[in-house]
Amino acid sequence: MKFTMLLFLSLLSMAAIAADRPNVVFILADDLGAHDVGCFGSTFYETPNIDRLASHGVKFTQAYAANPLCSPTRASILTGIYPARIGITAPVCHLPEVQLEKKLEAAAGGGVRAIPANSITRLKTEYFTLAEAMHEAGYATAHFGKWHLGWNREKHPEDRYEPKDQGFDFEFPHAPNVPSPSGSYFSPWKWIKTPPDAPVGTHIEDRMSEEAAKYIREHKDKPFFLNYWAYSVHAPWNAKRDYIEHFKAKADEKNPQHNALYAAMVKSLDDGVGRILAAIDEAGIADRTIVIFFSDNGGYSYLPKATDPEGFAHMPATSNFPLKSGKASLYEGGTREPCIVLWPGRTKAGTTSDALFQSVDWFPTLLAMTGAKPREDLKFDGMDETSAILGTGAPRDRVFCHFPHGGHNAAELMPGYKPGAYVRKGDWKLIRFFADNEDGSDLLELYNLKDDIGETKNLAAEKPELVRELNQLLSDFLRETDAVIPIRNPNYKKESAISADPLQGWKARGCDAVVTNGIVTITGKNNAPFLGVGANVSGKATVKFRARCANGGDGKIEWLTPGTNSASAKSVPFTLTAGDWQTATVNVPADGAIGILRIYLPAQKQAVDIDWIEMKAAGKPRRWEF
C-alpha cells in the first residue's frame, strides 16, 4: 500500500511538472537566408508549414546569428556566449585535430593581407549547455540532425564532445563528425556513423523528422527539449527530382530567387517542419509546446556546384536581396536570420517584431520561458528576450559579431568575407575589417540600416564622431571577450597576392583566361564571354581597360545590384577597333549599388588581350595590373 501511494504521488509530481513546464522544440535550419521562406518575403520558395508556424507566433525581422558561419552560431545557442569568447569562430569542428586554444595562425603566405585566427575545433565540456540546464530542470533532451561542435576520436576516449556528452539523452542520426550530408541527402548515407534503416533514395530530412515525430509522441506525457537541427539547405546541391521539376516550371529569372534546385531543398526542409508540427498536434500537446525556428547563418547567395541534377551551376543558390552578400559575410546577408517564436497562450498570433535578437539570447530566454532557474555562477553574453517575444519591451539595443577569417581575395567572390568584426547599435552599423587598408590599418565602414538596408553607402567619412563612438564599443567588446584579433601579415606583398590569383579576383565565364607576362588573353567558348568581379561600390563609375584584338568588335559593360540576377542587369556598350593596343573608357551610369561588374568582350570572334583594368567610383579607384 505504501509503495502504491508513493508511485501515485510520483506520477502526480510528474504530471505537475509536465503541466508547469512547456515542451521546447528548437528548429534550426542550416544556411537558410533571411528571405528564404514565404512569411519572410519569398515569392518563389514554398514553405506552408513554416508560414503556418509564423501565423500562430511572432516573427522577428531583425534577428541575428552571432557569426556568419555555422559552428560558432551553434556554440552560441548552446552556451549563451559569444563565439569570440568561446574561440570557435569558424566551422572547423569536424576536423580530427582537437584544438582547444584561442590563437592566431602561425603564419600566412605573401598573398594574404591579415593573419587570421586559428579557431578552436571543439565545444569544451566545461561549458554548461542549454541541454544540461534543461536536463537539470527535469526535461528529457534529444538532438536530431547536424551537430558540428566536435566528436570523440576512438584513439582518445577521454575526449568527449558529442551531443550525449553535452546534455542530450538521445541523438539521431549519429553523425557528429560531418559538417553536411557529404555527397548526398539520399540514402544510403555513407557519412552517418550508424546509418538508420531506410529504403534506398530516402531523403535524410524525411527520415530524421519521422524519428523526431516518434520521439514527440513517445514523450507527450513529460516535458522534453528537442533540438531539430536540420541539414537543409547546406550543400551538397541535390534534391528530390519531382520537386526540382515543379519549381523549374514556375521559375522566373526576373525574380532574384529562381534556382529550382535550391527551392526543392527548401521544400524538403519545410516538409520536415510540417511533420514535427503535425506530431505535436497529434500528441495533443500544442497548447504547451514552445516552437522556435531560426537559421545558423545567411543564405548562400553565390554560385553553387550543382551535382544532381546538372544545370544550376550558372545561377546563385539563393538571393538575400535587399540584404548585401550572404553566408560568410559581415554584411547583413551573412548574419540576419529568419526567426519565429511560438509560445502558446503567450505570443500574439501573426505578430511581427523589429526588436533586436541574437543567437546568444536563446539560452537565457528559454530558461525564462520554461521557468527553469540558471545556476548561480552561470554568466551569459545573451539577454532574456521574453519581453520582446511578448511585445512589452526590447531589452537589446546592440549586437556584436567577430569573424577573424576570410581574406581580401575571397571577398571578391563573397563580399564581406574578410577578417573583421561589427557592432550594430540602433540603426547604425560599424564594420571593422582588420588590417585591410593598404597601409595595414583597419578599414572602417559605417551604414545606416534604416535608410540603407543594402549597405551601399559607407558614411564613415561623413560621421567621424559616430565612428569613434561605435569603434570604441567594438574595441571594448573585443577586449572583454578576449577575442583573437587578426594582425597585418608581415609577409604580405601585392605581387604575391597577384601570383596567388593571376586574375586578382576576376572570374572568366564563357571563356578561357590565361595570364602570361602581365597580359590576360581571353578566348571565348560561347557567344557571350566575359570577365566578372565583385565591385561593391555605389553610384556612377568609370571603367577603363587597355586591350587589343585583331579584328575588333562590340562589347558591353554590365552591372548588377546586390542580390539580383542577370535578368535585372543593366549595361552600356563599347567598341574595340581592330589592331594594336587601345584604351577603352566606359562611363557606367549606375544610380545605386554595383554588386557585380562584367566586361563582355568580342572574344568569341578572336582572342582579346587585356593589359590592365581600372574602375573609379565614389572616390574609390581600383586598378588591376596582371
Amino acid 274: pLDDT:
98
- Comparing 167-171, 191-195, 427-431, 468-472, the range with the smallest average pLDDT is 191-195
pLDDT of 615 higher than 80: yes
Q: Which residue has the cell 571578391?
A: 412
Neighbours of 571 (CB within 10 A): 15
DSSP tag of 434: T
Q: How far is CA 588 from the centre of its chain?
A: 31
Q: How is the chain split into domains, by residue range?
A: 21-391, 403-488, 503-625
CATH architecture of 21-391: 3-Layer(aba) Sandwich (3.40)
Higher pLDDT, 618 or 550: 550
pLDDT of 16 higher than 90: no
Report the interhelical angle of 260-282 vs 241-250 (nearest 10°). 120
Q: Which residue has the cell 566578372?
A: 532
Rounded Cα gap, residues 125 and 172, in angstroms:
20
pLDDT of 583 higher than 90: no
Q: Following DSSP, what letter does each residue of 373-412 receive, concatenated?
A: PPPTT---SS---HHHHHTS-----EEEEEE----TTHHH
pLDDT of 7 higher than 70: no
At 575, is the secondary structure helix, strand, or coil? Answer: strand
Rounded Cα gap, residues 494 and 496, in angstroms:
5
Q: Could you read off the pLDDT of 288-342 as tens digits, one per residue?
A: 999 999 999 999 998 876 554 457 878 899 999 999 999 999 999 999 999 999 9
pLDDT of 14 higher than 50: no
CA angle, 453 then 455 then 459, to 5° = 115
Beta carbons of 434 and 487 less than 8 angstroms apart: yes
Amino acid 144: pLDDT:
98
pLDDT of 262 higher than 70: yes
- Comparing 95-109, 224-238, 382-396, the range with the smallest average pLDDT is 95-109
Beta carbons of 141 and 131 less than 8 angstroms apart: yes
At 538, is the secondary structure helix, strand, or coil? Answer: strand
Beta carbons of 181 and 264 less than 8 angstroms apart: no
Q: Which residue has the cell 520537386?
A: 243
Question: Model's pTM, two decimal places?
Answer: 0.79
Q: Could you read off the pLDDT of 430-487 as tens digits, one per residue?
A: 999 999 998 899 999 999 999 999 999 999 999 999 999 999 999 999 999 999 999 9
Closest among 451, 356, 355, 452 to 401, alpha carbons compared? 356
Rounded Cα gap, residues 608 and 522, in angstroms:
5
Neighbours of 586 (CB within 10 A): 18
Contact residues for 120 (Cβ-Cβ < 8 A; gap 6+): 86, 87, 88, 89, 99, 100, 101, 102
Closest among 595, 549, 542 to 568, alpha carbons compared? 595
CATH 2.60.120.260 is the classification of domain 503-625: yes
Looking at domain 403-488, its CATH class is alpha beta
How is residue 254 written as a grid cell? 526576373
Work out the pLDDT band at 496, boundaries 50, 70, 90. Answer: low
Distance (Å) of CA 540 to CA 601, 614, 616, 618, 620? 21, 14, 9, 7, 11
How is residue 111 written as a grid cell? 598573398
Segment (H or E) for 14: helix 2-20
DSSP tag of 100: -
Q: Following DSSP, what letter does each residue of 199-228 receive, concatenated?
A: -TT-BHHHHHHHHHHHHHHHTTTS-EEEEE
* CA contacts within 13 A on the Cβ side of 398: 16
Please measure the distance between the N-terminal and C-terminal CA atoms of the chain and give it in whole angstroms. Answer: 90
